[in-house]
Chains A and B, each alone.
Chain A
Amino acid sequence: MKKNYKNSCIKLSLALVVVSLFSCKEKNGLAPEYMPDMFRSPSIETYVDYGEVRDKQHPEMKDKISAMLPVKGTIPRGFTPYPYENTPEGYELAGANLKNPLVYNEQVVKEGEVLFGMFCVHCHGTTGQGDGILVQREKFPPLPVKFAPGLAIPEGKMFHSITYGRNLMGAHASQLTKEERWKLVLFIRTKFMNENQTTIAIDSNAVDSVVTKDVSQK
């Protein structure tokens, strides 16, 4: 009886040592998980592998792409399609017809400045002269466009260019909402092209229709 007790004691402590040595290591330095069914979501979440949900294996889902485009023919909530095509004609049409639905105020310009610092500054530079850090470090060629007073480009064309990209500049529609793109246009025109937006006469009817159509989306 005594011997049994001693033996089991030895065995238990040995087991403890062995367990503590090997249990805490999973591949790639991931720590162990306890009750994974509380960790893994059975509902649809971003970037989740649904190969195993609630201990059930789904081999057809395993290792499959989880970030997808919207189903064909559907439109995400709050999204409005952009009517102009990515063609030279579309560019001209956008330049002629598209007007900034945002009305100038300091707050909007400030927000535009923040966005410019995030999305444009590394090529266009803090001065808008196309001398951003990527150009300075010779990753990109000097930009042909320099924002300056008197640069003869309508705001619709600028919006179109941010949406679809132009020349070497890529499309930024996936990163910026329509409202943000307009904020950028407003900021660039105010800061670099010295346009005082308040003096521009705004056709209120046109603005209303565009505002409800374009800006309400996220």
Chain B
Amino acid sequence: MNKIINKVKKSTLLKLSFLYVASLFAHTTVYAQGGKDLFKTNCSACHTVGANKLIGPGLEGINTKRSKEWLNKWIKNSTELIASGDKDAKAIFEEFNKIPMPAQVLTDEQITQILDYVANPNAEAAVAQAEAPKAEGASEEVLLGEKLFKTNCAACHTIGDNKLVGPGLKGVNERRNAEWLVKWITNSAELIASGDADAKAIFEQFNKVPMPAQTVNADEIKAILAYIKNPPVKQGEVAQTDVAATETKSDSKATLIIIIILIVILAGMILLLNKTRVTIAKAAADKEGVEFTGPVSLVDACKHTISKNKGLVAALVIVLFFAGLVKLMDGAFTIGVHTGYKPEQPIKFSHKVHAGDNKIDCNYCHSSARHSKTSGIPSLNVCMNCHKYVDGTNGKTFTYNGEEFPMPEEIKKIYKALDYNPETQVYGNNPTPVKWIKIHNLPDHAFFSHSQHVSVGNQTCQTCHGAVETMDVVEQFSQLTMKWCIECHDKTGVANEGNGYYEEMHSRMTEQYKQKWLGDGKLTVEEIGGWECAKCHY
């Protein structure tokens, strides 16, 4: 039986190796593409196609290092291979802290595709690069360097002057020689231990946190350094920054001036008309040989008209009186109702960018809503969780209320408030608060708890605050009146399933009350006391 299986295996292996050779021969990218997808879904969590380790070893040159047969066995069931006493398998097992590679459910053909892709991962990348518009003046080496930098270095370094976790790398080519850099990158701890003065100084400067040894080869380091030296300038990203608009603010002032001018012109016209009227009337009186006795001044003329049209004036007065009364009553209903309140905040923080486009959960910043009465305005350390890295200096703009603004200006306001120096990454001793304007204000005589609604009631933020993720400037969405509270409590159901407390209570109810409270099959907030005065007013 075993022999038969072996025979089958051998024959499939033969076929496979034939396929492998054929694919190499034909140099088709079809296999490589399928292999790429397979690699991404099955292998990339632990392996790279380069030389660098992730969780498992880098797979560069694996096809020459191991036999096809061995690889097949290893991928399908590495523990079996280790147990069989294979030397290579054991060595790898030891090297990677005795963590076995999980057995992969792949067909022989799929393994071939993956190995094919690993053998020549750049075939496709090269095609893609040729198709993509190349950044101006960037050589192949620089492009490769950029790619390597982004995957290996960017988490701790920038190519500018500013520190992240490690120092900014601008001008590192002049500061250090290439040999030193290769040593440092591949094993900084060794260099420090060897007593190198520069290495020690950096180690001390960065709080004795050593740079992790990077598994890149000398050529790759060269490419990265080339990229740091001449980073390609991407078109269309630089020129946009200063398109700030300053027109709209003067708009309201302009309308006011126009209205005043109109009033002045109209008043002048009335005076002028009155004068003409008097002149004509006088001329008419002269012609008839009578003395002119009518009203001369404007005020007299008005009095004259009123006394002549008493009925009309009375009607007008009545209409005006009631119109005023209605307006006043309408106005009374808006007292304390700030729906649509939309003050301009000290920093142009766009909820649309953060919660909408970047899909950051409301709770990330307003973290106390789950635990506390107040859904806090995030302190600036929460901003810095992202904006330590995202400083907007790549010349990006953002849209705020339909206008474009440069990002760095607004982010610098955070740094300034914190007295933070982004170049040295040092916080100063003179922080100042950002004076955010609170929008949702409940009167002191009404109690409201966020945690009660968010954690217990499972309400979304949008229920009361509206679609904040679509607002640049946040405005008050709901009325926050008592009527509004009461109405919501009346129709909102309580999720009481699986809650032993309520089950026990309801089982004790008499039929009459059961019908009254549970007859409609829904338990509302009102029915569990959400309309009690003292729930919110005490």
Contact = CB atoms under 8 A, between A and B. Distances in A.
Interface of A: 9-10, 12-14, 16-17, 19-21, 23-24, 28-34, 38-41, 45-47, 63, 65, 67, 87-88, 117-119, 121-122, 129, 133-134, 137, 139-144, 146, 148-152, 165, 167-172, 174-177, 218
Nearest to B383: A170
Contacts of B321: 9, 12-13, 16
Interface in B157-172: 164-165
Interface stretch (B82-90, B119-127, B360-368, B508-516): B360-368
A165 B382 CA distance: 12
Contacts of A87: 207
Contacts of B99: 150, 152
- Report the 4 A-B pairs with minimum CB-CB distance, sorted nearest first: A16-B324, A170-B385, A141-B154, A20-B327
A159 B250 CA distance: 53
Given A140-B389, A148-B45, A168-B165, A39 B444 contact: yes
A144 B155 contact: yes
Interface stretch (B331-339, B463-471, B519-527): B331-339
Interface stretch (B193-201, B370-378, B408-416): B370-378
B443 A148 contact: no
Contacts of B433: 65, 67
Given A34-B336, A122-B358, A171-B385, 16 more contacts: A16-B321, A16-B324, A24-B331, A28-B343, A31-B335, A31-B337, A31-B338, A39-B336, A46-B374, A65-B433, A67-B433, A139-B386, A141-B150, A150-B55, A170-B382, A175-B382
Contact of A17 (B46, B323, B390): B323
Given A88-B209, A170-B388, A142 B150 contact: yes
A13 B374 contact: no
A167 B212 CA distance: 12
Main secondary structure of the interface of A (DSSP, over half): loop
B379 interface: yes
A137 B358 contact: yes
B335 A33 contact: yes
Given A9-B317, A87-B207, A16 B325 contact: yes
Contacts of B438: 47
A183 to B, nearest CB: 13
Given A34-B336, A129-B45, A148-B46, A168 B320 contact: no
Contacts of B441: 39
Contacts of B268: none
B386 A170 contact: yes
Contacts of A40: 444
B385 A165 contact: yes
A30 B341 CA distance: 6
Q: Is the interface of B mostly helix, strand, loop or mixed?
A: loop
B320 A34 contact: no
A151 B155 contact: no
Contacts of B371: 177, 218
B342 interface: yes
B260 to A, nearest CB: 16
B484 to A, nearest CB: 14
B445 interface: yes
Contact of A169 (B340, B342, B381, B385): B385
Contacts of B317: 9-10, 13
A19 B388 contact: no
Nearest to A24: B331
Nearest to A33: B336
Contacts of B325: 16
B102 interface: yes
A92 to B, nearest CB: 12
Contacts of B340: 29
Given A32-B335, A148-B45, A168-B165, A119 B97 contact: no
Contacts of B443: 38-39
13 contacts: A31-B334, A41-B444, A65-B433, A117-B361, A134-B358, A137-B358, A139-B358, A140-B386, A150-B102, A168-B155, A168-B156, A168-B388, A218-B371
B435 interface: yes
Nearest to B101: A150
A137 B207 CA distance: 32
B413 to A, nearest CB: 16
Interface in B280-330: 317, 320-321, 323-325, 327-328, 330
Contact of A28 (B324, B327, B341, B381): B341
Nearest to A17: B324
B335 A67 contact: no
Contacts of B154: 141-142
Nearest to B166: A167
A167 B209 CA distance: 10
Contacts of B358: 122, 133-134, 137, 139
B328 A20 contact: yes
A13 B386 contact: no
B151 A142 contact: yes
Contact of B377 (A67, A142, A144): A67
Most buried by A among B330, B336, B374, B441: B336
B324 A13 contact: yes
A16 B324 CA distance: 5
B132 to A, nearest CB: 15
Nearest to A18: B324
B444 A118 contact: no
| Residue from B54, B435, B444 with most neighbouring chain A CB atoms (10 Å) | B444
B359 interface: yes
B65 interface: no
Contacts of B388: 168, 170
A38 B382 CA distance: 34
